[in-house]
Amino acid sequence: MADTGVIDSYLADLDARLRGMASTKAELLAEARDGLVDAAEAHEERGLTPLDAQRAAIEEFGPVDEIGREYQAELSVAQGARLLRSMLLALPAVHALWELTALWSIGAWDQHFGTKTPPWYLSFAWANDRVVWLSSAIALVALLGCRWAARNGVDSRRIARMPAVAGAVALGAVLVVELALLVATAVFDPHRLNGPLPTGLATLVSLVVAGRLLVLTVRSFAYSAGSRDERRATI
């Protein structure tokens, strides 16, 4: 099929409605184009003109707003799954990096800084040690939930927002507990905030990773919000 102008125009309209990871979006659109060209070629073989064949293929494919909602939901869930997988890998890795760096460069905190840690501070340290596992568990459960929904015929539009919410809760818990630990440290011994260079670098890595996860979370919300708005518009 030489001229695919009608199909290309339809796909450009679909493309303009979709927001999501560029690679996933490109694959979805490439596959849609293949299907439309295949259908148009089949119609041409049945005797339609090239123009009518393309129009018939598009009509069978479905209205662009309806199909766009289905594609957007898939893009939203794909972005959410990427966020959750990133959290599962990054949160324990960054926590382990910081703890090992502190163990190597600081060792016993009271001895290193010459101050005694008050008992109330240990609650903050306890929470900080465990929140990363709680957040990882939230991400894992949400990821498994997405897989269960995909296996059991749950419409992707119904769960498009769930990974973003789970990711925000998981990341929010880590950030709140770490901020609380930071404030607690500043309250009882600000000197401890000026640790050795290796822990400073590990902290920098933690902040970069947290920033990246925050960006992924915001994108997940943005993509799922687009899907929800379009869904609401049709009700």
Partner 1 sequence: MKPDALRGHLDALLLATLDGAALHGYAIIEALQQRSGGALDLPTGTVYPALRRLERGGLVASEWATVGGRQRRTYRLTSAGRKALAGERTAWREFTTAIDGVLGGGPWPTPA
Binding site for partner 1 (CB under 8 A): 27-28, 31-32, 34-35, 38-39, 42, 60-63, 66-67, 70-71, 73-74, 77-78, 81, 146-153, 156
- Residue 133 token pair: 């596992």
Q: Closest separation between CB of residue 67 and partner 1, Å? A: 4
Q: Closest separation between CB of residue 75 and partner 1, Å? A: 9
Q: Closest separation between CB of residue 163 and partner 1, Å? A: 11
Q: Closest separation between CB of residue 224 and partner 1, Å? A: 15
Residue closer to partner 1, measured from CB, 146 or 164:
146
Cα–Cα distances (Å) from 37 to 13, 33, 161, 189, 190, in that order, read: 16, 6, 33, 69, 67
**CA-closest candidate to residue 8, choices 45, 42, 36:** 36
Decide if 58 contacts 39 (C-beta within 8 A). no
User: Cα–Cα distance between 180 and 203 in angstroms, integer?
Assistant: 15
Name 43's Cβ contacts closer than 8 Å, sequence gap at least 6.
52, 53, 56, 57
Q: Closest separation between CB of residue 232 and partner 1, Å? A: 19
Q: How far apart are the first and last CA of the chain?
A: 38
Q: Closest separation between CB of residue 68 and partner 1, Å? A: 9
Residue closer to partner 1, measured from CB, 79 or 199:
79
Residue closer to partner 1, measured from CB, 32 or 90:
32
- Residue 43 token pair: 């119609």
Residue closer to partner 1, measured from CB, 23 or 194:
23
Max intra-chain CA distance, the chain: 89
Residue closer to partner 1, measured from CB, 27 or 129:
27
- DSSP code per residue over 129-191: HHHHHHHHHHHHHHHHHHHHHHHTT--HHHHTTHHHHHHHHHHHHHHHHHHHHHHHHHHH-GG
Residue closer to partner 1, measured from CB, 63 or 172:
63
Residue closer to partner 1, measured from CB, 25 or 219:
25
User: Cα–Cα distance between 199 and 182 in angstroms, integer?
Assistant: 14
